Structure 1
């Protein structure tokens, strides 16, 4: 029994380390930057809020390669997710169910669709397209001085506002940091050579 457990442990832990421990960020000369990039502090904190709320139960963060599912056709990503994408994630939120859309490239989609932090706050407060509401991420409070820049547009007694809490700000920052649109060589389609020396992409 101990031998069987030892072999299993070696295969899972040592084998995985042998495959991925040497991964490093990729430096892109055209961008003069390395990818993936570390998340800013507030976004990194938002990942913990995302995990705490169980968002991984309904959303994945792993785009499947062409030929396996329709992720690209849905606009969730132009390439498959690879291990290097999660180089700086201490707890990757891969998920295994898609009650909601994949979020790997949510920041890029949000930018293209004009999604703003304020619209995201409204979705979190009210729920959206089957997504549950999270009103506990907001607080009703008296307006002291100026109105909060991200106060929701809801009907309240005069002198009060509904504003996002720190946890809501962290979660929105995290969602708007999810962007794996850079290119890695290992994410490219496999090219098989032919007898004439030409390649056929599978």
Structure 2
């Protein structure tokens, strides 16, 4: 008896069931999820999550993609018992679907050459820290394997420069540059930092059980 049609039907049924169970149904559930009002620990309320602004944050997300940050950093905090993410301080809780409802696409990442960034906006709220880290990670994180992004900055030795409005001039630490050295970030660096500071999963949400 020729069983090929039966086998093919079984394979097709498995593929269809997997498509519905793993892709289509979760996607429908995700589409129904919207930002909601969250009560913070201090009793104040806020909408979570918020959309990226078109001025700096959304362009910064594109810089994040174009610079290949997604290849070395993830944006998903694993639950306790599935790694040491929370113990390392990478997040205050595990990531949940609501964290990503406004992200198209979400940059969950595929590996962690560097630390997870899902909550970097809370861990590092300082613009100056981020800019120094981008210029040369060894300044803020000695031993880091992250490459420097000095091409995003204009470097001046000696007199403090007069940067364009909205672009800070940051002096490098004396331990790094013996002569007075200043860096001025370009628009890409400023936008990237603005985007990184939006990465915050600090609110407790009912999705976390």
Name whichever of 149-158 and 32-41 sits farther off.
Answer: 149-158
Give the structure 1 partner of residue 32 of structure 2: 22
Residue 172 (1) aligns with residue 193 (2): yes
| Gaps in structure 2 of 5+ consecutive residues | 1-7, 139-143
| Mapping for residues 72-151 of structure 1, pairs under 5 Å | 72-111=86-125, 116-128=126-138, 129-140=144-155, 147-148=162-163, 150-151=168-169
> TM-score normalized by structure 1?
0.77
- CA distance in 1: counterparts of 2:204 and 2:99, whole angstroms: 10
Q: CA RMSD in A?
A: 3.1
Alignment CA distance shift 1:125-1:26 (3 Å): same
2:170 to 152, 155, 179: 152
- SS for the counterpart of 1:186 is coil
1:53 to 67, 89, 96: 67
- CA distance in 2: counterparts of 1:18 and 1:107, whole angstroms: 30
- CA distance in 2: counterparts of 1:106 and 1:85, whole angstroms: 14
| Gaps in structure 1 of 5+ consecutive residues | 189-202
Contact 1:147 1:161 in 2 (8 A): no
2:48 to 35, 40, 49: 35
- CA distance in 2: counterparts of 1:123 and 1:28, whole angstroms: 32
1:69 to 47, 64, 83: 83
- CA distance in 2: counterparts of 1:31 and 1:88, whole angstroms: 22
- CA distance in 1: counterparts of 2:128 and 2:47, whole angstroms: 30
Aligned residues: 182
> TM-score normalized by structure 2?
0.75
Contact 1:26 1:184 in 2 (8 A): no
- Aligned-residue offset at 1:110: 1.2
Structure 1 outlier segments of 4+, above 4 Å: 8-13, 154-158
- SS for the counterpart of 2:74 is coil
